[in-house]
Each structure stands twice: as C-alpha cells, then as structure tokens.
Chain A
Amino acid sequence: MKTVFVLFVTSLIFQSVFAQSRIQISRQGSADSSFDFSGFSTDSGAGARFFSGLRKNLTMPSQFSEAPPSSADFRVLGSARSSGGQVEVTVQVADRGQGQRRFGKRYSVAENQVEGLARLISDEITETLTGRPGFASKRILFVGQRAGSRGKDVYAMYPDGGGMVQLTRDDSVVLAPKWAPDGNTFVYTSFHRGFPDVYLQRLQPAGRKVVSSSSGMNSGGAVSPDGRKIALILSREGRPELYVKDLSSGRTTRLTRTAMSAKSSPSWSPNGKEIVFVSGHQGIPNLYVIGVNGGELRRITRGGGENLSPHWGPNGLIAFTRRREGRYAIAVLNPNNGDMRFVSPADADYEDPSWAADGFHLAASRTIRGQSAIYLLDMEGKAAKSLLQGQGKWYMPSFRL
C-alpha cells in the first residue's frame, strides 16, 4: 500500500534562469527569501506531521525565513490529509508578486513516510528556488557516547533531528565516521578489537569489512570521490604517514615520507587529484596538500594556532578547525588564493566541520563545559543551530553530500 504517485509536475520553464540569479543572491545574503505557510491545511495526525516537517526543514537557518502573507516572497499552498491509511499531500509554491507557480506536486504515501516525504519536498523546493541542492534528506553520521556509557558508537540522523539510528555496536573508542560517495557505505576507525583499525561499513545490505589493520595505528580513512581508493594514516613503517589504498587491488601506496611528525585527517579534493591532511611538523599542526601520486607537500595554513580536521568541500573550499584566541573555531579557506574566514561564533569550541550538499552550510561539533553537540553553521557565519544535544556527547559529524 506504499503507493506513491507523482501526479503532476509544474512546468520548469524559466527555472534555470531563475536558479542562476538565486545562486548569486543567496551567496551574498542568505535567508533573504521568506515563506508564508498560512495557506496550507492539514488534519491533526499524519498530515500535521508532514506540514511540521516541511516547515521545519524549509526554515532551517540560512535557508528561508517565515513571514506574514503581506510581505512573504513565496506562498506555500496545499494540504496534507490522511485517508484510509494513506496520506494525500499536495504542495504548491507560488510567487507573491505575480502569483506564478514555481513548484507543484501531489503525492500519496503511507503514514510512516510523511517525515521522509517532507524532507524530499523541502529539498526539491530549495533547489527549484535557489539552484542549490537541499540537505534536508541528507543524513549526518556522527560519533555518540550516550550518557552513562563509557563506549562510543557511530550514529546517523537527518538534519531535522529525525530518523536517529545507531549504526555500530562496538562500545569502544570510535572515531571519524565519513560517508563514501555512494551514500550507502561509510568508513571509520574503531578500537573494538583493542587496536585502532579502519573499517568500511555498508548499510544495505548490512555488512562490515576491515580496510586496514596493520601493526600500530590505522586511522583517518577517507574514500576518494570516485569511490575506488581510500586515504589512510598508518604507522606500520614506524611513523604515521599518509597512504592511499586501492580498494579493488588492495595495493597500498605511501604518499608522504617525513621525519618526526604526527599526521591525521586526510580529505580528498573534489576532482580526486589532491589530498589535504594535518601534519604537526614543527609541533603545531598545519594543513598540507599533496598530489595523489605523491610529490611535493604544499603547506596551506600560516600563523595562528593549531589547524586541524580539514574537509575539502564540493565547492572547492576547505573547512577546518583553527585555534583562535584560546578557542577552537571553524574556518573556511580557499586553497587557491589563501582567502580565509571564520564562520563559527566565539561562544564555545567548534570543531570537525563537514560541508553540506549545498556547499553553503556545514555541520560541526560544538563543545562547552565538556558537553558536545552537533551544530549547523553556514559559510557566512550567520547560522548556529543545535541539531542534536543532551543525553550524551555527540561529535565528529559527516554530512552526506
């Protein structure tokens, strides 16, 4: 009975022109478009849950804001009502000015699917109106330590806080879960066998395999954009170095050979030709870039305190953790021209950034007084919203791209 009908789709005429102008506007001033939701009607059950989810996801910080009918840029019209176990959903988005319809779809879904449908429609509306992909339906992986528990495990949830699920049962030290580009697999480091080993875990069908368990430390797993290789930090040759392992042949190649330095946290460039990573060459950790075939190291951070946890986004920008005035903060760096700016507030420690699919928002861990939570930020420093906090420590997010 989980029948889904896409009954009609609005005309996409002018959408590409519209989208182009929206990218520029939204890059300069985000959250500058507003919705009036007063024209949407629901029942009190699953229909209301759908509407609540749609509204929550569309009005995430630096997405869209809410405004009264007199001043909103767009009107959301339609209804969501249960009928015989199915929920009938109609959503339209119209321009306030000429009343031109920008979006219109109708669905029939099972009652337990309304939250997922709300995320999908939120993403479709976001992309239609801004030209940027939405992130409402993109799950975030993270490490969790439930209150009262010593061990840690990998969890996932949607940005709206729904769909939280525990993905591992290691109950040990667990670090740095990172999505592979297929979105069905993630890589992480776990101590559940006593030593730090790197695993690939697949969601459907469920399974796990060891990527690296050589002597010493195995950590820093990051799958390449083409899904064929994995970057690793291994100490099997006597010092932590950056390696790339081919997932088909199993062949492992060392990229770095440096005396006396700790290395961590590799992240691939969008074209898969370079890797940024952390190296503490003279004690203070900095970010370095190296080609996937090795060669010269290029240091890309200067001055300041420690530079850690880089994530090279699909927008070409590197988000990372940088020490600023005694606190850890999230910075965004253009590796081509060295432009850098901080994007997190100064009220706590923010660490371990992960770009969202829109290349504009980021997830990060926020820690204050020993408590860690997952936060949503944006690259203009305007958003800082808690996505998950309390009842444990939650950190090291990885946003599905």
Chain B
Amino acid sequence: MKFTARLSLRLLLLSLLLLGSACRRKQGGEGAISDSMYSDVGGIGQFDDFEQFGLPETRGGIENMTAVDSSAYAPVYFAFDSYSVASGENSKVRMVASNLQSNRGQAVILQGHTDERGSREYNIALGERRALAVREVLISMGISPDRIQTLSYGEELPAVAGSDESAYSLNRRVEFQLMQ
C-alpha cells in the first residue's frame, strides 16, 4: 500500500514536472520527460564534495612505483573454490621473499585471479582472498606488510582461454608483480 502511495506521489510529481518544464520551455538534453523520470524524492548524502576526475591518494604510493620484470617468479596455483596456499607452492613464495629481503627498495603487488565459474563479483573477493593468503605467507617469512599490496581481478584476466579444467587450473592463481 505504501509502495502504491509512493508511486502515486511520484506520478503526481511527474505531472507537475512535466508542466513545470513546459512552462520553462526547457531545451536540450533528453527533454522534459526524461528529466522528470530522474527527479524522484530523496537524496543520497552530501554531494558538495563531488569532483569530476581528481581522486585521493591511496595505497601507500605503490601505484606510483615502477613495475619490475617479474617473469622469474611463477604464479601460485589454487584448487577450485580454495584460497589455501598448498605446501608445494611455498617455494614460489619463498623466492619472492628472498628477493624482497635483498632489494629493500622493492615492494610487491599480489594479483589474485579465479577461473570463470561463479559470479564476477564473488570472484573478485575469492581472488582477493587468495592474494591475502599469499600475503600472510610472505609476512610469515618476515616481509613487512607495508611492502605488500593485494589486487584481485577475479575472473576478468584469465591466463588461458577455455572452459575446461586444464584452463581453469591455470587461471586460479596469484601472480607476483614487483615494484620499485
């Protein structure tokens, strides 16, 4: 009932707006009808601080560092729907830890990926969870958390095309991108 009442109110507002724009003889854009469709009641917080493209600083400046060739470091692979780092994958993480220990000016972005199954949004979280799991292994090996950033692409950037398990198993991965 409330919903219907709200809708009636909106139709009323809509009619008023139609008449209003008629009086002002508004030109351009999508016209009076379209304008009125987006003039619903209710707001959403403060918009005074809206900015067109300028964005605040984030992530400790790692985005301003330069990518280092990281092809020597193999991705860590995962089982389906899993974010546990298998013990057989630990040696890959250890190579990265050793490198970070001998190159104090470097940091690392852990890029998490999933296979294509599941929702795109859930896969962002799953890939993030995988990157965070590798991060925990790196921290346990003595790397400072502030030198590690996680970046999950979910299923958006598969390493291998295809919809079978051989492709899936290569796509469930965390890649290392060293920065300096």
**Are A4 and B156 interface neighbours, CB within 8 A?**
no
Q: Looking across the interface, which residue of chain B has its beta carbon closest to that of A174?
A: B156
Stretch in A30-38, A109-117, A332-340 with 4+ CB within 8 Å of B: A109-117
- B118: chain A residues at CB < 8 Å are 285, 306, 308
A309 CA / B118 CA spacing, docked (Å): 10
Stretch in B21-29, B69-77, B86-94 with 4+ CB within 8 Å of A: B21-29
A113 CA / B21 CA spacing, docked (Å): 13
Cross-chain contact of A209 among B49, B59, B119, B132 (Cβ < 8 A): B49
Contacting B at CB under 8 A, from A220-278, are: 220, 223, 226-228, 233, 235, 238-240, 247-248, 260-265, 278
B68, CB-defined interface residue at 8 Å: no
A181 CA / B41 CA spacing, docked (Å): 9
**Are B119 and A110 interface neighbours, CB within 8 A?**
no
A-B interface contact total, Cβ < 8 Å: 204
- A385: chain B residues at CB < 8 Å are none
A259 CA / B121 CA spacing, docked (Å): 20
Number of interface residues of B (CB under 8 A): 65
A280, CB-defined interface residue at 8 Å: yes
- B34: chain A residues at CB < 8 Å are 116, 163
**Are B32 and A113 interface neighbours, CB within 8 A?**
yes
B160, CB-defined interface residue at 8 Å: no
0/1 string, A116-153, CB within 8 A of B gives 1: 11001000100100010100010100000000000000
A284, CB-defined interface residue at 8 Å: yes
A202, CB-defined interface residue at 8 Å: yes
Known contacts A112-B31, A195-B59; is-contact A264 B121 (Cβ 8 Å): yes
- B56: chain A residues at CB < 8 Å are 210, 213
B52, CB-defined interface residue at 8 Å: yes
Q: Looking across the interface, which residue of chain A has its beta carbon closest to that of B24?
A: A2
**Are A207 and B32 interface neighbours, CB within 8 A?**
no
**Are B49 and A133 interface neighbours, CB within 8 A?**
no
Interface pairs A-B: 7 shortest CB-CB: A247-B45, A262-B125, A116-B33, A207-B50, A227-B44, A308-B119, A217-B128
**Are B58 and A213 interface neighbours, CB within 8 A?**
yes
B residues whose Cβ falls under 8 Å from a Cβ of A: 3-4, 7, 11, 14-15, 18-19, 21-22, 25-27, 30-35, 37-47, 49-53, 55-56, 58-60, 63, 81-83, 117-122, 124-126, 128-129, 132, 135, 149-153, 156-157, 163
Q: Which among B49, B51, B119, B128 has the greatest number of chain A C-beta atoms within 10 A?
A: B119
Nearest Cβ on chain A to B151's Cβ, whole angstroms: 6
Nearest Cβ on chain A to B71's Cβ, whole angstroms: 20
Nearest Cβ on chain B to A354's Cβ, whole angstroms: 13
A58, CB-defined interface residue at 8 Å: no
Q: Looking across the interface, which residue of chain B has its beta carbon closest to that of A181?
A: B42
- A163: chain B residues at CB < 8 Å are 30, 34
**Are B40 and A183 interface neighbours, CB within 8 A?**
yes
**Are B52 and A262 interface neighbours, CB within 8 A?**
no
A163 CA / B150 CA spacing, docked (Å): 39
A131 CA / B5 CA spacing, docked (Å): 11
A113 CA / B27 CA spacing, docked (Å): 12
Q: Looking across the interface, which residue of chain B has its beta carbon closest to that of A123?
A: B11
A44, CB-defined interface residue at 8 Å: no
**Are B150 and A280 interface neighbours, CB within 8 A?**
no
**Are A308 and B55 interface neighbours, CB within 8 A?**
no
